[in-house]
Amino acid sequence: MTLWEGRLGSDQARALMELSESLSFDRRLAPDDLRASRAHVRGLERGGIITSDETAEIIQALDQVERELGEGSFAFAEGDEDIHTAVERRVSEIAPVTGAKLHTGRSRNDQVATDLRLFTRRELSSVAGLVIDLSEALLVQAQKAGGAYLPGYTHLQRAQCVLLSHHLLAHGWALSRDVDRIIHTVVRLNVSPLGAGALAGSSLPLDPEGVACELGFESCFENSMDAVGDRDFVAEALFDLALLGVHLSRFAEEIVIWSTQEVGFISIADAYATGSSMLPQKKNPDIAELVRGKAGRLIGDLTGFLATLKGLPLAYNRDLQEDKDPLFDSLDNMRRELVALKGLIETATFQLDRMRDAAHDEGSAATDLAELLVSNGVPFREAHRVVGSLVRQAAAQGRSLFPEVFAELVSAHPLLGPEALQLLDPGVGVTRRTSPGAAGPVAVARQMERFRERLDVDRNRLETLAALDVEVGACGGSGRG
Ligand code: ARG
């Protein structure tokens, strides 16, 4: 049986079915499809299109479908092209007469757009929750790191030493922007397309406002053609996930580098590392590598889907069915990435001695020396030149002699002198990074507080969004007013 057998007969080529079915992947929209159908039916009742007895009967049938799907006893049929078809077919089996009224004033075009918005609202918000969980793990490690310091790098060359907590929170702030971006995407997508029909609305007295309200949508579509053709929210979700994936890949790359024997700044717990099938001694950072690698796939999901959207004429086109695979793929992969990375971070050991040894590179104190000169009234350009030439002279003596020669030159310099030598100790140098947002202990303590507050605020924002997913029942004839 097909939904259009009145027009085309019911003979369908197998090849058509195999290409066009989406049930194999869109069945995960079932909870959203059922919720949207219940709201739709109550809207039909408010419009006087069906009676309250009919409403009750259809809703009972929808409840039964929900139970069957939950128990795994729901029998999908040969012709169930997608989840919408399957649910409607089963409702009509349970309540043959009234079930045939479920699809009144509705098309799968506004139905699937509604389901997918409900789904994305919930799933994207829950991914944001996992990002906050990972951020918490970073914060805990940052707190544990205390005064530990390491070289900070630019161009992957030692630059100035920084607190480990500062370094970890640098990744944390990028993640906080990801959470913020996701929340904005969710707020923007919270518009109901239900009532747009196939593309043009309906001659029936539907109540799209009331339906929107019942589904927790902030507002209702303004233009029925836009409502069924718009997948901006999928593209935005994919972008948010791709950029989040890019952020995670940068962090992951550092974990890979930090866990090499050469650098040795981090030891990954055995449970979060992998071995080699051939090399008995190996301990590999596969989680970090997969996180790094999956960034490519997330970017692919985004760019592939943008290519699908490009040039699509109004309004609904079947191309849009291609929205689900990339969205599900990105969400599923991101979820796994975030959970694994959080475990890795929570259980990792930072090798503070290695970090400190690496930071004990007198060259890293150059900027501190220049700033000392500045505070003694030397113009910065001049200070830069003075210290630069000391570094140059010391470097000319070779790597092993550098520390000694540099210290002698600093101590002998009329504008610097023996007191400046204390700045060559990176443990002292790092305490001097006091400007707002800087890498030293006073500024980082403040930063940690602000980060903590930010996580709390974002958790509250997500709780507000999660409340939209609680089914509340009918909103009343006038919608949310
Ligand atoms: N499975 C379809 C999709 O995901 C549902 C909408 C089908 N609409 C249509 N006119 N064939 O987009």
C-alpha to C-alpha distances, 101 to 45, 58, 59, 336, 469, nearest whole angstrom = 11, 8, 12, 41, 26
Asked whether 318 lines ligand 1 (CB < 6 A), one says: yes
Cα dihedral 251, 252, 253, 256 in deg (nearest 10): 130
The chain-wide mean pLDDT, for the chain, equals 95
Nearest alpha carbon, ligand 1 atom 11: 318
Q: Report whether pLDDT(363) > 50.
A: yes
Residue 464 β-bridge partners: none
Cα 295 to Cα 242: distance, rounded to the nearest angstrom: 7
* CATH topology agreement for domains 15-104 and 362-425: no
Atom of ligand 1 nearest to the CA of 316: 10
Is the Cβ atom of 112 under 6 angstroms away from ligand 1? Answer: yes
Kindly report the protein residue whose alpha carbon is nearest to atom 3 of ligand 1. Answer: 321
pLDDT > 90 fraction of the chain, expressed in percent and rounded: 90
Catalytic positions, please? 155, 276
433 touches ligand 1 (CB under 6 Å) = no
* Integer angstrom CA distances of residue 364 from 98, 157, 402: 78, 10, 12
Residues 150-167, mean pLDDT to the nearest whole number: 96
Q: How far is CA 284 from CA 134, 249, 254, 267, 279, in A?
A: 21, 16, 14, 10, 11
What's the gap in Å between 85 CA and the centre of ligand 1? 10
* pLDDT tens-digit map of 214-239: 999 999 999 999 999 999 999 999 99
Amino acid at 475: C
Atom of ligand 1 at shortest distance to CA of 116? 4
Is 114 a pocket residue for ligand 1 (Cβ < 6 Å)? Answer: no
Residue with tokens 């191309």: 319
The rounded Å distance from CA 265 to ligand 1 centre is: 52
Kindly report the protein residue whose alpha carbon is nearest to atom 10 of ligand 1. Answer: 109
For residue 479, what pLDDT band results from cuts at 50, 70 and 90?
A: very low
Ligand 1 atom closest to 83 (CA)? 1
Q: What is the pLDDT of residues 275-310, one digit of tens each?
A: 888 888 889 999 999 999 999 999 999 999 999 999
Give me ligand 1 centre to Cα 77, in Å: 18
Q: Say if CB 429 and CB 365 are below 8 A apart.
A: yes
Ligand 1 pocket residue status of 22, Cβ below 6 Å: yes
Q: Which CATH class is domain 362-425?
A: mainly alpha
- What separation in Å is there between the alpha carbon of 240 and the centre of ligand 1? 25
Q: Is 321 in the pocket of ligand 1 (CB under 6 A)?
A: yes
Ligand 1 centre distance from Cα of residue 432 (Å): 62
Distance 46 CA to ligand 1 centre (A): 27
Q: For the segment 392-428, what is each residue's pLDDT rounded down to a tens digit?
A: 999 999 988 999 999 999 999 999 999 999 999 888 8
Determine how many CB atoms are found less than 10 A away from the CB of residue 216: 22
* Structure tokens given for 125: 């918000």
Closest CA to ligand 1's atom 2: 321
Q: Scan for tokens 């890019």, then name that residue.
A: 246
* 319 C-alpha to ligand 1 centroid (Å): 9
Domain residue ranges in the chain: 15-104, 109-357+451-469, 362-425
- pLDDT at residue 362 in the model: 77
82 lines ligand 1 (CB under 6 A): yes
- Identify the CA nearest to 251 among candidates 159, 168, 326, 158: 168
**Predicted local distance difference test score (pLDDT) of residue 57:** 98
Q: What is the CATH number of domain 109-357+451-469?
A: 1.20.200.10
Is residue 269 over pLDDT 90? yes
> In terms of CATH architecture, what is 15-104?
Orthogonal Bundle (1.10)
Residue whose CA is at the smallest distance from ligand 1 atom 4: 321
pLDDT of residue 476: 62
Q: Counting atoms of ligand 1 from 1, which one is nearest the CA of 81? A: 1
The residue contributing the CA closest to ligand 1 atom 12 is 321
Amino acid at 6: G
Tokens, residue 141: 């490690």
pLDDT at 274: 92
Q: pLDDT tier at 477 (50, 70, 90 boundaries)?
A: low
